[in-house]
Amino acid sequence: MRLAFGALFSAFLAAWGAEAAQPLTFLSQAARQQSVEFDVFLPLRNVDQLDELIRAQHTKGSPSYHQWLTPAEFRARFGPNPHAVERISARLRAAGLTVTGTHSHGIHVRGPVDGVESAFGVILWNAKTRHGHDRLAARWPLALPRDFIEAGAHIAAFSPAVHMRSHASQVSPVAANRYGTTGPYWFTDLKQAYDFPSVQTLDGRGTAIGVVVPSDVLDSDIAAYFAHEKMKPPKVVRRPVFGGTAFDANDGISVEAALDVEQSAGMAPGATIVIYSLPDFSDAAVIAGYLNVVEDNAVDIVNSSFGGAEELYTAAYNGGSDFTYLLRLENEIFKQGSAQGMTFVASSGDSGALGVPPIAYATTPPQDPPVVVGSYLPGVEFPASSPYVTAVGGTNLVTTSQAGSLESTYVSENAFGDPEKPNDPYGVGNLISGGYWASGGGESALFAKPDYQTLVKTGARNRAIPDVSLHMGGCPTGAITPCGNDRSSVVVAWNGGLYLVVGTSASSPEFAGLLALEEQNVGGRLGIVNYQIYAQAAEQEAGTWFSYFQQGIPGYNGYYSTTASGYNMVLGNGTIHARNFIFAPFAPRAGNPQTLSNP
């Protein structure tokens, strides 16, 4: 991949500008009659009214409290201006393209490549991502017609790079059971450690968790994972987006898919898991995935164990072209889901507070072998930074361990990061030094402080992440060893074997599964659970009978340190006391793993 990119680098910079995300390999010009489909996005209407509605839906005592909309109701009240939809549709038809439908954010289009090229002044190429996924891409930005610009239209498709990356890291194979005070942990170990309720009381039945990921899982892996803990596998439903992606053992993202399904279903074995399989991590695919999620309205909780640095979308990293509108498009989709009562959960990232490549990473021609071109900078990743998403950070967990017993009760946690060797996070061909493997956290450069974060002192003017944390583990491949003490991990069943995996890709689906238990307990969708999180944090700070969060956990994520109490930009409000958090303080506890209460 590096050699192919190096051969194209000069032409790429001349055509598009500097690009710090994962570059594509351009193969051949697309055939003129090759079929293509994409979306045209238009602005929502009545945005101020929508914001007021969402606040009211999350305010106890309001007549609108938890009165969720359907997709049809959302579109009727807040969808794009119908006149703009018709005007843009007519323009697309005139270019020889077919409008196959409309949705709450715009228009879905299909047609031949030459129609796209003539309408938007580009040449489309067949290309491949670094993971081998096929894409159609343009070497330069689309030239939108004047009426598109006047209507505020955007097209997310055909970007020549991929900005998102998975947050999981595989460590090594593992044998079949537990070995010590830091795991490796099965989901049942974590449920006992974090004080989950007995599975006989709450198991997530009647709820559905969506997993957005560019891969699939092997049913045999899921069955083996749950059989190890003497359980039946969960119900798994596939909803491919743009054809999706089949399981591929040579694609590391398939490890991510297995982890997401196993962790979320392990916490809520009665929930249905719906895999929204994307074709890749391109912005167009990710946006289409979220659009499918909210228009289907079939899942209650949505997990995303991936992200990309906000700064990678700014003009400085893209040759003067600003692509932050792509993040705002996703944010509007999250708004729709929130108004429908859906809860979005995302891993906060595994690069601590240092997730941003330096500008030189984008502007320096790569060498072979690659060289260090700068150091990591502070910044946060999207979608975790969205105000409509719950960002989940992570810790290393220590539990009891005794020969002859599977007991796994909580002892302590730490959130100390592990320094990393120079690496190439997006496959550009340059190396960056000063990286940290740690719980992602910091302050958004794009999104203002949401009202719920005024309930505690975050120390930030804008949106701060994470919101909460659970176990993520540490000391990944690429860390400068020896790592610190008490580094933990989880077990994932993948491609017929058992492996150790670390990352906020584990903590995020853990939390998604917990929310399914809460939804079952309270009898309905939760919406933006951050309103609950920060209200509970304020209550705990003021003094309460119940403790919702474990705080005072020592840690450092490369830029920020944890605090003795309250919020910090390493762990947010802390890790979860599960039964108290989901309003089930008197429910029977999950006991030792592989007993009737756990699972």
Q: Where are the alpha helices (DSSP H) in 465-562?
A: 504-522, 530-542
**What H or E segment, with its residue span, contains residue 257?**
helix 253-267
**CA torsion sign, 494 to 497 to 498 to 501?**
negative
Q: Which residue has 């196993």 as its token pair? A: 262
pLDDT digits (tens, 9 = 90+) for 456-487: 999 999 999 999 999 999 999 899 989 999 99
- Backbone dihedral region of 571: left (phi > 0), alpha (psi from -120 to 50 degrees) or beta? alpha
Q: Which domains does the chain have, with CATH numbers?
A: 2-162 (no CATH), 165-581 (3.40.50.200)
**Type of residue at 87:** R
**Per-residue pLDDT at 248 exceeds 80:** yes
Confidence of residue 128 (pLDDT cuts 50, 70, 90): confident
- Alpha helices by DSSP H, 25-112: 47-57, 71-78, 82-94
How far apart are alpha carbons 191 and 514 in whole angstroms?
9
In this structure, are residues 91 and 15 in contact, taking their beta carbons and an 8 Å threshold? no
pLDDT > 90 in the chain, percent = 77
Please report the pLDDT score of residue 9 as a whole number. Answer: 22
Nearest to 437 by CA among 393, 384, 495, 499: 393
Q: Given this model, what pLDDT does residue 227 score?
A: 96
Residue 178 is predicted with a pLDDT of: 64
- Tokens in use for 124? 């489309």
Q: Where are the beta strands (DSSP E) in 327-473?
A: 343-347, 372-375, 381-382, 389-399, 410-416, 418-419, 431-433, 436-437, 442-448, 462-465, 468-471
Residue 21: predicted pLDDT: 58
Residue 15's contacts (CB-CB under 8 Å, 6 or more residues apart) are: 139, 140
Distant-in-sequence, close-in-space partners of 37: CB < 8 Å, separation ≥ 6? 100, 108, 109, 110, 111, 242
Quick check: 20 pLDDT over 70?
no
Q: Exposed/middle/buried for 320, CB within 10 Å: 0-12, 13-18, 19+?
A: exposed
- φ/ψ of 482, rounded to 5, equals -75, 145
Residues facing 412 on adjacent strands = 398
- pTM attached to this predicted model: 0.93
* Mean pLDDT, residues 402-420 taken together: 94
> CA–CA separation, 371 vs 378, rounded Å?
21
Task: Read off the pLDDT of residues 268-318 as tens digits, 9 standing for 90 and up.
Answer: 999 999 999 999 888 999 999 999 999 999 999 999 999 999 999 999 888
